[in-house]
Amino acid sequence: MKRAVWVLVLAVCGWADEGMWLFNQFPKKQVEKKYGFQASAEFLNHLRLASVRLGASGAFVSPKGLIFTNHHVASGCIQKVSSKEHNYMADGFYAATQAAELKCPDSEANVLLRIEDVTKEVNAGVKAQPGTPEANRERLATKAGIEKECGAKTGNRCEVVTLYAGAIYSLYEYKKYTDVRLVFAPEEALAFFGGDPDNFTYPRYDLDIAFMRAYENGRPAETPHYLKWSREGVREGELVLVSGNPASTDRFITYAELEYQRDTEYPLALSYVQSAIRTLKDFGAGSAENKRVSRDKLFGAENTYKARVWEFKGLESARLFAEKKAREEKLRAAIAGNAKLRQEVGDAWEAIAAAYRKWAPVQKEYYALEGGPRYSDLFRIARNVLRLPVEKAKPNGQRLKEYTDAALPSLELRMYSPAPIADGVEIAVLANYLRFLEEQLGPANGTVKAVLGGRTPEQAAKDYVSSSKLKDVAERKRLASSVEAAKNSEDGMIRLARALDEEARLIRKRGEDELDAVEEANATKIALARFAIYGATEYPDATFTLRLSYGPAIGYGKTPYATDFAGMYAHATGEEPFRLPESILKAKSALEAKTPLNFVSTCDIIGGNSGSPTVNTKGEVVGIIFDSNLEAMANRFVYDEVEGRAVHVASQGIIEALRKVYHAQRVIEELGFGK
């Protein structure tokens, strides 16, 4: 369910470089005072217009639409353009000519053009009593209307973003590119060198990079706002800035919600993801082809699990809860001392706590039914095919948010993707989900009985997948063309989606009415009171929208700030996941061994920042975000710059590898480096 987001004043906390800052609220004076750097409006605008959102983050690095991002951000595309004969995940990819660039089946790149405050417009559309289901529905309808009007007027993608728990609503307008092509990717063995054991650790030795290209009208897009590549690269102690799209943080939620996450949400999610990992590993062990078709899903599951486990460790910290309680009590005391604020806030904290207590026992139903089988591409397609015609028949403001007019183009791009789907991995992950569903809801549950139909989870999964024709895009379009077509279809995956849909919709509506409505109304009261006490100049929790972070490139403890190629070779054992690909083994004598490969900084990041360009104060690329260390995992809840670090690939190491390992001359020259 949606989480509350509300502001926390940094002056109270005393954290020097904390902040995932809105571009229109960047703390210029704070940065200038500490680092002597003046972030001009021109600097910020250029960086914003060069930054790209594409599943996570990236940036234009040439005037011809060349996009710089992570290998693991591009891996969905890399996997989908691969085949049994051409395994680009294992072997890497380089388009030596423009004609050789491979079109990604369903990738979309977005550039933030403008931000507009629409708080008055959203609030004016809500007539019902705050905190009621009616008020929540009116708010959602008003936001959908604003997005539709903006899209119709501009032809661009428009989103109304909730900030500070609804104290502020902002309209974000994006230029959208739906023709994105793969230009370069190293072998996964080098991009993810060290595999899961090294994931979220440091020192690291990964070339986690990829280059893609945005096209318009069949030609490379003209992108005058792009980031130039630094000639010198990163230097120790240097101030660097990170522009990207952090997905979500929970630093400013209430104490009651923090307890809910610790006791309910995290244990449930971790159990499911862990079961998916076991399933994918078992499936991949069956053959080389099984391993290939399941690799991207396994990476995603392992990455999620490890991050969430260490976030959960943070949640289990008594110190974190004590600190959270102290801050909350300090704010409540300040409000209690102001008669006007005391009346306006009322019992907001108690209302939020009561809503979460009521919701906790049914979270497993929401997670299992509305969440569905998260690793099944066929089920995602089937649910959209089933719901799309039903939702489109409703007025725009009454639809589920993913089917509003503003959201439909992106949804349909994914829904009608021609990307290949492997039956074997679909059966495996679906059987795992059905076991999870039976475990959570019980074998006597009506939905469980309807879904299994007296079969084992494995038998049911095989039947649903083998009797489905949804791998055919034309069949998806036919079934989604009318309510009756999907309603009466005997397609296996559509039958599964139908069996889950009624209860899934009911539990979703209950969550929106009983939790979301109460939470947003009351968290807004708290946020507005905080504004009245401290001012409204600080950053909100992350919302998968463009933010800017900053901090020096420095190590921690006895750990140096940067690693190099020499360290990478020393780290290799010859056995997976510490086996280097042949390409870089052959290039060992040619590489400058002490060239920086990875480095760390205190920049404030979270999931979604993957692929974020790292720039110096000239706005030049000196690296790219690809990870955090384990010490930074609790940054979801509390920022720590003592040992928590953002991990980057260094620009010097990238050029060295492009030139001497991959001989990617076309990319090197486009980045501004001659022969």
Helix (H) or strand (E) holding 592: none
The residue assigned the tokens 């708010």 is: 139
User: 558-572, pLDDT tens digit by residue?
Assistant: 999 999 999 999 999
User: 288-299, pLDDT tens digit by residue?
Assistant: 999 999 999 999
536 band by pLDDT with thresholds 50, 70 and 90: low
Predicted confidence at residue 366, as pLDDT, reads 98
Predicted confidence at residue 542, as pLDDT, reads 98
Predicted confidence at residue 16, as pLDDT, reads 58
User: 345-372, pLDDT tens digit by residue?
Assistant: 999 999 999 999 999 999 999 999 999 9
Positive or negative torsion for Cα 422, 385, 545, 541: negative
- How much of the chain, in percent, has pLDDT values that exceed 70? 97
User: 583-632, pLDDT tens digit by residue?
Assistant: 999 999 999 999 999 999 999 999 999 999 999 999 999 999 999 999 99
- Cis ω on the peptide bond leading into residue 418 (within 30° of 0)? no
**Residue whose C-alpha is closest to residue 543's, from 159, 151, 106:** 159
- How far lies 413's CA from each of 115, 409, 655, in Å? 25, 6, 34
Residues 560, 640: Cα–Cα separation, whole Å: 18
Residues 626, 614: Cα–Cα separation, whole Å: 10
The single-letter code of the amino acid at 71 is H
User: 171-216, pLDDT tens digit by residue?
Assistant: 999 999 999 999 999 999 999 999 999 999 999 999 999 999 999 9
The class level of CATH for 10-108+178-251+541-670 reads mainly beta
| Residues 6 or more apart in contact with residue 20 via CB below 8 angstroms | 246, 249, 539, 542, 547, 548, 549, 604, 605, 606
Write down how long the chain is.
Answer: 675
What one-character DSSP code corresponds to residue 635?
G
**Taking CA 94 as the corner, what is the angle to CA 298 and CA 621, rounded to the nearest 5 degrees?**
85
Average of per-residue pLDDT across 118-124: 98
Q: Does the pLDDT value for residue 28 go beyond 90?
A: yes
User: 286-325, pLDDT tens digit by residue?
Assistant: 999 999 999 999 999 999 999 999 999 999 999 999 999 9
Long-range pairs for 125-130: beta carbons < 8 A, 24 or more residues apart: 130/521, 130/524
Predicted confidence at residue 674, as pLDDT, reads 80
- Helix H segments across 580-671? 582-586, 651-660, 665-670
Main-chain phi, psi angles of 200, to 5 degrees: 60, 35
Residues 344, 85: Cα–Cα separation, whole Å: 65
Residue 157 and residue 177 in contact, taking contact as beta carbons nearer than 8 Å: no
Burial classification of residue 30, based on how many CB atoms lie within 10 Å of its CB (0-12 exposed, 13-18 middle, 19 or more buried): middle
Average of per-residue pLDDT across 434-441: 98
User: 464-499, pLDDT tens digit by residue?
Assistant: 999 999 999 999 999 999 999 999 999 999 999 999
**Residue whose C-alpha is closest to residue 512's, from 138, 1, 34:** 1
Residue 62 and residue 671 in contact, taking contact as beta carbons nearer than 8 Å: yes
Predicted confidence at residue 4, as pLDDT, reads 33
Long-range pairs for 147-154: beta carbons < 8 A, 24 or more residues apart: 147/171, 147/404, 147/405, 147/406, 147/407, 148/396, 148/404, 148/405, 148/406, 150/406, 151/405, 151/406
Residue 647 and residue 629 in contact, taking contact as beta carbons nearer than 8 Å: yes
Q: Does the pLDDT value for residue 66 go beyond 50?
A: yes
Average of per-residue pLDDT across 453-467: 98
Predicted confidence at residue 322, as pLDDT, reads 93
Domain ranges of the chain: 10-108+178-251+541-670, 111-176, 255-515
675 band by pLDDT with thresholds 50, 70 and 90: low
Q: Does the pLDDT value for residue 537 go beyond 80?
A: no
**Taking CA 308 as the corner, what is the angle to CA 303 and CA 309, rounded to the nearest 5 degrees?**
100
Q: Is 652 helix (H, G, I), strand (E, B) or coil?
A: helix
Beta pairing partners, 159: 172
Predicted confidence at residue 3, as pLDDT, reads 35
Q: Does the pLDDT value for residue 7 go beyond 60?
A: no
Largest CA distance in the chain: 73
Q: What is the DSSP string of 77-111?
A: HHHHH--SS--HHHH-EE-SSGGGPEEPSS--EEE
Q: Please, what is the average pLDDT of the chain?
A: 96
Residue 221 and residue 65 in contact, taking contact as beta carbons nearer than 8 Å: yes
420 band by pLDDT with thresholds 50, 70 and 90: very high
